[in-house]
Amino acid sequence: MDKIFVTRSILNGNVSCPPSKSYTHRAIFISSLARGNSHIINPLISRDTIATIDACRAFGIKIRKRGQELIISGKDTLKIPNDVINVENSGTTMRFVTAISSLVKGGYVVITGDDSIRKRPMGPLLLALKQLGINCFSVRENDRAPIVVQGGGISGKHVTIDGSMSSQFISGILIAGACAKSEISLSVAGKQVSKSYIESTIKVMSKFGAEIKYSRDYKRYYIFNNRYVPTTFTIPGDFSTAALLLSAGTLVGNEITVGNLDFSLPQGDSKILEILKKIGAIISINKKNGTVKTIGTEELDGGEFDLSDTPDLLPVVAILSLKSKKPVRIFGVSHTRYKETDRLRIIASELRKLGVNTKLLPDEIMITSPKKLKNAQLDSHNDHRLFMSFVIAAMLTEKSAVDGVESVDVSYPSFLQDMKRIGAKLS
């Protein structure tokens, strides 16, 4: 892996937040199932979303890029792919493609990905699809990719799925289930994590004409027999990425303003705003202009944070702890062990290199930071969110190195350029 050297930095300026990866995935898949032309405005074009575009093209969907929009010519009948679908490193693509493959009229779809994808669990989704009459299996019989799904359409009936590992399983069933032969009732067993991402899925589905009833706790759903209708959908700025930028402003900023934020669409990671206030950061929010400004501070307050619905905030809150005068406890995060990497374990081990005291439990981490951080060589394990967080953390040291430069194109291809532009000292 390539590494970058980071020296102590002070950031200052404006950054336009890149478009949401989560909304881009959902809009591309759903519009691919809507017969006719849809226009996706301001999509994120990154390694993960390109994997989604390529997967939809494999099903016979025509997708064109024109300026700042994608024109997607959706179909209500998907063709059998000519080759294996490779989702690269994208877990969202993997889970959604697996569910959508069941809509192919006949034949088989084979889905795989990189080393990380082939380690990520798929069991709950495969079990749910089998309950819906779909023949699907892991070729290695370990509930992991490569996965084979036989087409033939989804039979409507009641299905129960485990919600404790990933919300993407539920989102995949919802998106594909709207095109089932009849209505589906879905119940979630166990704890439902990342509910905000399911809310985003339902929001995009409704924009394309699908109707779903669901309980307030996101554990029971009724999916009507719908057909998506083409529409124009604008992708909002990504609060998952904004959280990283705002943490940079808080930790090493003079003053940073993050723009291109849309407060009207649900995004769980907008919770970063209340977390920043609770931990003692100085921020000002302008919903009308879609901006948040943060001013750097010498010391933060610490505290306890439940991230069960916002797992992508784990790396952000972890690095905010580096300026906290009191310990930071982050809990409800066992499902972060099934992301691109075991993020919980890696954060604990890498922060120790900086002289930080970390205590790791199955579902939480306690972080106590020293007054002065050590220089270190940090390994992101090629995880994009860990890489970006570790780069920001390294700006608090005199000089450190971070491995995994190539990972940023997964979600924020211009991250390093944007950081340099506002004052980051990177080489």
Query: Cα–chain-centroid distance for residue 239?
Result: 10
Question: What residues form DSSP beta bridges with 303?
Answer: 328
Look up residue 325 and give its two tokens. Answer: 């005068």
Angle of helix 21-32 relative to helix 91-100, nearest 10 degrees, comes to 20
Q: Which of 106, 341, 388 is nearest to 245 (CA)?
A: 388
Beta bridge partners of 321: none
Query: Could you confirm whether 115 is annotated as catalytic?
Result: no
Residue 361 token pair? 């439990």
Residue 186 pairs in a beta bridge with 159, 221
Tell me the C-alpha to C-alpha distance, in Å, between residue 374 and each of 40, 162, 396: 45, 42, 9
SS3 assignment for the chain: CCEEEEECCCEEEEEECCECHHHHHHHHHHHHCCCEEEEEECCCCCHHHHHHHHHHHHCCCEEEEECCEEEEEECCCCCCCCCCEECCCCHHHHHHHHHHHHHCCCCEEEEECCCCHHHCCCHHHHHHHHHCCCCEEECCCCCCCCEEEECCCCCCCEEEEECCCCCHHHHHHHHHHCCCCCCEEEEEECCCCCHHHHHHHHHHHHHCCCCEEECCCCCEEEECCCCCCCCEEECCECHHHHHHHHHHHHHHEEEEEEECCCCCCCCHHHHHHHHHHHHCCEEEEECCCCEEEEECCCCECCEEEECCCCHHHHHHHHHHHHHECCCEEEECCHHHHHCCCCHHHHHHHHHHHCCCEEEEECCEEEEECCCCCCCCEEECCCCHHHHHHHHHHHCCCCEEEEECHHHHHHCCCCHHHHHHHCCCEEC
Q: Which among 162, 238, 312, 403 is annotated as catalytic?
A: 312
Amino acid, res. 25: H
Residues catalogued as catalytic: 312
